[in-house]
Every structure is written in structure tokens, then in C-alpha cells.
Amino acid sequence: MKKHILIVGSGFSGMWSAISAARLAALQNSDELGITVLSPAPELRVRPRFYEENVSGFVAPLTELFTELNIVHLEGSAECIDTKGKTVSWRDKHGRTTVTGYDRLILATGSQAKRPPIAGLAEFAFDIDQLESAQVLERHLDALSAQPSTPARNTVVVCGGGFTGIELATELPARLRARFGEDTKTKVIVVERGAVAGGRYSEALRDVITEASAALGVEWRLNAGVDAIDAEGVTLKSGERIASATVIWTAGVQAHPLTQQLDAERDGQSRLRVNETLQIPGLPDVYATGDTAHARTDDEGNTALMTCQHAIQLGKFAGHNAAASLLNIEPYPYRQVNYVTCLDLGGWGAVYSEGWDQQVKSVRQEAKKIKIAITNELIYPPAADRKVAFAAADPLAKFV
């Protein structure tokens, strides 16, 4: 009888889980596996590009690819996981609820921005975490062009100086100039809790971030916390008041809330702790992948980060292993020893580093070319062609 793998989510990890499972079934000449992806739409949203202009274009359709690989897509959102009954109940866009069974479940629902209970944050802060919220920000910036030039209009405050905050802040000077004109004095201020800019990076990388910020005129408020946000700006814990029509929240992410439905161990970001085959201990039929998984990448104590780079590989292993378990094949332990960081630094260029110690290998336009190759090509879905897609889905094939 046919066995079913249900993958919840069609982002980087969900898409690659599905292709990888289909690949193994094809390699085994098996028509015993049914592969289904459940997500709100048969598309991949390219979240790493949400700090860029024209955000609506960063969506890649998946229907042709899924059809080519006999992957079924269900359009809806999972609401409840029953690991005892091995079912997922989900709601479609008309509000109808359906219950779908599985033999293996792969949870690939990604992550969401963390929004702490800061006064005014929910009402007044923008974010670029999801396509819709990034579109709201873009429309807001467009609308500001028609407003009189004031310090508040011309100032953007980015709360949080992590990966997303840095890429957005360094991109903003050009985005503001394009709207308000070259002669308008604009300001971009990053409010960061840490003592140094880019605190989670190596010293070499931090130096580059500082240099690029200075060249672009991006200011950093370090050791700074946000006390309150309102329609006219932000008040810092120090009492400093910054007048701004645009306060953007980028501080902190956590795994999708569905991770909390499972009776399993989670880390501080709500990610499910998985074993080396990406199964959840105590729930062997359930795999977590991408941003929902806390997984060891090597024997050196490194763990996967909430990045595309990890989500893509985690997806390939999760799909392979879920299929392997149904086809009675030995699974592959998840391994991802190589790690690179490529940060866009707007008009200054970019920085590219290799290794967990983040040795800087290139900067400025040379690194920008790498960044563009990654975000405009490497992370996009493969062609809707079995040979091409299956070759790319091999978990053991070289990735970065």
C-alpha cells in the first residue's frame, strides 16, 4: 500500500524536502511513496531578499516543478498536529477544515519575527519578516515621498543590528535617496542592544560592517534599548528621543508556533531539537527541518543557524531520510561542515567570509557579485526538469 510523506511548508526546507524525497523514490523505482506539500500557496518566497526594493517580485512559483516530480500540493495552513493519530488538520482559503493523514511528517514552517511587548511596537513598527509586511513598508516609503521634507520623514530607525538589520540599514540610504532626491539629508539609525556593531560576527567582519556603515552614513546607537514606539518616532531606554516616521523592527526570530504543539524538547528560539537524521526524539515519524530544527551540523559543536544555507541542506536530508525510512534504506546523518556568510552592505558593496570563524575572503564589489549569485540564483528553485532537480537535491552533493 502507498505510504505518505506530508511536508508542511513550501519554503526553502519544505521545497527541498519534497524534491529530495521524490528523488530517492525515483532512484529506487518506487511508486509506493506519495509526497504532499501543504502550504498557503504553491510558491517559494525568497525571504533573504525582503530588504531589497520591489519586494513583490521575490516569489518563485512551484506548480510546474511539483507537477513534473509528481508532488501533490495542498493549498492551506496547518492548524493542528496529532502525532498519535498521525494527522494534520488544516484550513483552506475558504475557511474549510480538512484532516490529512501521514506516515511521515516533515515540519518545515520556518520562523517568524519575535515581537516583544514594547509599547507601540505592534501598532507602529514596520518589519520585513514576511512578504506582506515588507510590502507594507515599501508602500509606506513610497507614500512618504509625497510628504513635506522633515527630519522625521527623512529618518528611518532600524531596531536590531543583526543580519537583517544590517542588510536593511545599509540598503536604505539608496532607497531613501531614490524617493526623496539626492539633495535631501536622510538618516538611517540602527538601535542595537550590543556593545559593538555586528557583535555576533568575527572581528574582521565587524570591522567591515563598521567601515561600510561609516561610508554610507548609517549611524549606530549601541548599548541601546527601545522603550516605546509611536507614530512620531521612538524613545530609547536612555531617554533619547528620535523623531522618525519609519521605525522598523528586526530584532529576534523564533520558530513557527506549530513547533510548540509537539511534545518535544525545544531550544530558546522554539526550534525542535532533532537527532542526526532530523527526527524528533520520541516522535520517530516526525522530522523537523529548516528554521524549525535545532540540528548539529558537525562534530565541532556547531549547530544550524536560521539561514537559507542551512534550511536548503536540512531540507534535502529531511526529505531523503523520511523517504528512506519508508523504503527501508539507511538514512544519512545530517552533516553540513562548510559555512559561509555573505552580507549585503548596500551601496558600499558586500562582505563574504568562510568558516565558523568567519575569515573575510572578499569585500565590496567582488563580494557583491557573490551575494547576487547567491540571492538571485543559488537559492531559487531548480528548473522544472527531473534530471536537474534530482541532481541538485542529492543531500551529499556539494552545495557551498
Chain contacts with ligand FAD (rule: CB under 6 A) = 8-14, 38-40, 47-48, 50-51, 77-78, 108-110, 128-129, 163-164, 256, 258, 290-291, 306-309, 311
CB of 306 to ligand FAD, least distance (A): 5
Q: In terms of DSSP H, where are the helices of 286-343?
A: 308-326
Q: What is the dihedral of CA 153, 195, 254, 129, to 10 degrees?
A: 20
DSSP summary character for residue 282: T
Residue 40, judged by CB atoms within 10 A of its CB (0-12, 13-18, 19+), counts as middle
Looking at beta carbons only, is 318 or 326 nearer to ligand FAD?
Answer: 318
User: Cα separation of 40 and 63, whole Å?
Assistant: 13
CB of 267 to ligand FAD, least distance (A): 15
Looking at beta carbons only, is 78 or 216 nearer to ligand FAD?
Answer: 78
- Note every long-range contact of 47-52, with CB atoms under 8 Å and residues 24 or more positions apart, other chains counting: 47/11, 47/110, 47/129, 47/130, 47/131, 47/308, 48/308, 48/375, 48/379, 49/375, 50/128, 50/129, 50/130, 50/131, 50/134, 51/128, 51/134, 51/164, 51/167, 51/168, 51/171, 51/344, 52/171
The alpha carbon of 115 is separated from its chain's Cα centroid by a whole number of angstroms, namely 16
CB of 271 to ligand FAD, least distance (A): 10
Looking at beta carbons only, is 83 or 154 nearer to ligand FAD?
Answer: 83
- Helices and strands (H, E) in the chain, number of each type: 9, 25
Residue 215, judged by CB atoms within 10 A of its CB (0-12, 13-18, 19+), counts as middle
CB of 126 to ligand FAD, least distance (A): 12
Looking at beta carbons only, is 12 or 124 nearer to ligand FAD?
Answer: 12
Looking at beta carbons only, is 218 or 308 nearer to ligand FAD?
Answer: 308
Looking at beta carbons only, is 197 or 236 nearer to ligand FAD?
Answer: 197
User: Cα separation of 218 and 30, whole Å?
Assistant: 56
CB of 168 to ligand FAD, least distance (A): 7
CB of 178 to ligand FAD, least distance (A): 19
CB of 62 to ligand FAD, least distance (A): 9
Take residue 338 and report the three cell numbers written for it.
562548510
User: Cα separation of 50 and 251, whole Å?
Assistant: 15
Looking at beta carbons only, is 45 or 153 nearer to ligand FAD?
Answer: 45
CB of 33 to ligand FAD, least distance (A): 21
Residue nearest to ligand FAD (CB): 11
Looking at beta carbons only, is 258 or 286 nearer to ligand FAD?
Answer: 258
3-class DSSP string for 194-211: CCCCCCCCCHHHHHHHHH
